[in-house]
Structure 1
């Protein structure tokens, strides 16, 4: 069916709903319960995995595990027309290590409009779920929102930032959508993407990074299996985490836990250079050194306490 015909039928449906007298129907609900006018894959879904691999190689510093996992995992998911379940990723690590940065790169290379795409949905606990006493209401609304948007687009991307700040128990309401046995009318929801971002587990990641450094091992020798078990236990048993005793972990619904390692001084230096290039400015060694010197490090200045988080702000001071 052509796009123009779909538009005509869609508008006719809305006209009939509006004047049918069934005032209990909300327009937003109707929009979420019928396939979108021309389909998200026809309109905006333009996966560029070669571009993603290039972005990660050029712009992400000190995160070999993320580079190894992401392109392969996303390629397999995108190229599979009927995957067993959605691709569910959990980005874990300290502030400024690249979790949000990588999320934006992934989305930009999946959807033409990037984070501005109507098929990319972001949730922030402090903004969307601020009151623990309203947990039941949040559960109802979140489940409805996820299901409605999966009906519109089976390739939807859902991003949950600061998952550790979510009220415990809330995330379990979407657990059915993360597996392979749920039914979403009019859509193959198993082709969707879920990205969770968290700092819980940072201590376990830092501990492994420090132990490898003490043993004089290259950080690139760290493998996923060195961290996966301890990370799962840490976030599952953390009562302050939104994943505390979560079914998502119990049922192993994360395809990958992606650890983001603490950054070394030379990684931070690369972040400063990248920011200078982004601003179209020359790479002046004095400026780079000044910014790096003003970053807080721990363990005899071996690891950055805040990654590259404040690089842009500190660069403004030293220019």
Structure 2
């Protein structure tokens, strides 16, 4: 069957329209119907985090496809070590920018690295304000990832606050297309306790959702009660500028095993379930009696795996 040139052109346009349009490194505006790619990455390379997959997919897709958002997207990831917070931030970047987290429009700040001297808070505050404002003025769809947010000084957190607000326009620059992601261990112990209670009650962890036992409220209460957290003394929470507080559940043996299998692929090692199980079981688990959750999640899986490979 022959197609007319007009028909062929229409098909080409349709295919182009449905293909993800990732942000380039230019200053051109970008929108991306990224649902399929983001969902594939979340379902395929994130283990044991059904709440995260669901909330991130809906929140990010809705925001990116909104041609006129009224505020930047602000996500706050909470959980213990090695449960996937950094990994998910990279997945989001990979589905928004052509170069993923290596894009010049993705800016990562680590509290104890970039802002480690308390005597330089005024300098850091001025620099942080300049960095955020300058990058968004050049590229509205900029992404800012703040790691160890719970260790960040409240003075610096409050510097970020004006950029997160509704209809944010700071010194002539709109921040409504920007994305802010906070990574934090704050609330991690509470999340683990809720997950452990679920397990002890014989419930499936997949039954645990954001409204289960008021999980989001428990996270917020834990943040507010943590006297060492920068969140406690900042105004971001008080002004309700975080769109989603997303809990990362502690990982069980089966999830660590999946991480090992995934690392085998990255290291070009032939898949071996028995080896993956052996490596996973060699990781430390808690609590002491039941040994249900991995102490370090999947954080050191690769380092442990190479010890078993000839």
Shorter-chain TM-score bucket reads 0.7 to 0.9
Partner of 1:230: 218
Query: Residues 95 and 199 of structure 1 are in contact (CA less than 8 Å); yes or no, is this contact kept in structure 2?
Result: yes
Q: By how many angstroms is 1:239 displaced?
A: 2.1
Instruction: Write the deviation string for residues 110-157 of structure 1: whole angstroms up to 9, x where unpaired.
Output: 000111211111101122100112112211111121111111111110
Work out which of the residue numbers 165, 172, 175 in structure 2 matches 1:179.
165
Separation in structure 2 between the aligned mates of residue 38 and residue 316 of structure 1, nearest angstrom: 40
Partner of 1:306: 296
Partner of 1:61: 47
Work out which of the residue numbers 223, 231, 236 in structure 2 matches 1:243.
231
Query: Residues 151 and 184 of structure 1 are in contact (CA less than 8 Å); yes or no, is this contact kept in structure 2?
Result: no
Query: Residues 236 and 249 of structure 1 are in contact (CA less than 8 Å); yes or no, is this contact kept in structure 2?
Result: no
Runs of 5+ in structure 2 lacking a partner? 1-24
Q: By how many angstroms is 1:185 displaced?
A: 5.4
Partner of 1:135: 121
Using structure 1 for the length normalisation, give the TM-score: 0.84
Using structure 2 for the length normalisation, give the TM-score: 0.86
Query: Residues 261 and 273 of structure 2 are in contact (CA less than 8 Å); yes or no, is this contact kept in structure 1?
Result: no
Query: Residues 164 and 175 of structure 2 are in contact (CA less than 8 Å); yes or no, is this contact kept in structure 1?
Result: no
Separation in structure 2 between the aligned mates of residue 309 and residue 54 of structure 1, nearest angstrom: 22
2:233 aligned counterpart, secondary structure: coil
Separation in structure 1 between the aligned mates of residue 144 and residue 195 of structure 2, nearest angstrom: 30
Partner of 1:292: 280
Would you say 1:71 and 2:61 are equivalent positions?
no
Q: By how many angstroms is 1:47 displaced?
A: 6.0
1:196 aligned counterpart, secondary structure: strand
Runs of 5+ in structure 1 lacking a partner? 1-36
Partner of 2:79: 93
Partner of 2:133: 147
Q: By how many angstroms is 1:192 displaced?
A: 0.8
Partner of 1:84: 70
Would you say 1:201 and 2:187 are equivalent positions?
yes
Distance 1:47 1:124, change over 3 A: farther
Q: How many residues align?
A: 281
1:170 aligned counterpart, secondary structure: helix
Instruction: Write the deviation string for residues 210-265 of structure 1: whole angstroms up to 9, x where unpaired.
Output: 11111111111111133111111211332211212221100111100010000110
Partner of 1:8: none
Q: By how many angstroms is 1:286 displaced?
A: 3.5
2:236 aligned counterpart, secondary structure: helix
Q: By how many angstroms is 1:316 displaced?
A: 0.6
Q: By how many angstroms is 1:51 displaced?
A: 0.8
Q: By how many angstroms is 1:184 displaced?
A: 3.7
Distance 1:97 1:303, change over 3 A: same
Query: Residues 154 and 230 of structure 2 are in contact (CA less than 8 Å); yes or no, is this contact kept in structure 1?
Result: yes
Query: Residues 162 and 170 of structure 2 are in contact (CA less than 8 Å); yes or no, is this contact kept in structure 1?
Result: no
Separation in structure 1 between the aligned mates of residue 259 and residue 163 of structure 2, nearest angstrom: 37
1:155 aligned counterpart, secondary structure: coil
Separation in structure 2 between the aligned mates of residue 236 and residue 72 of structure 1, nearest angstrom: 27
Q: By how many angstroms is 1:40 displaced?
A: 4.1
1:301 aligned counterpart, secondary structure: coil
Query: Residues 191 and 247 of structure 2 are in contact (CA less than 8 Å); yes or no, is this contact kept in structure 1?
Result: yes
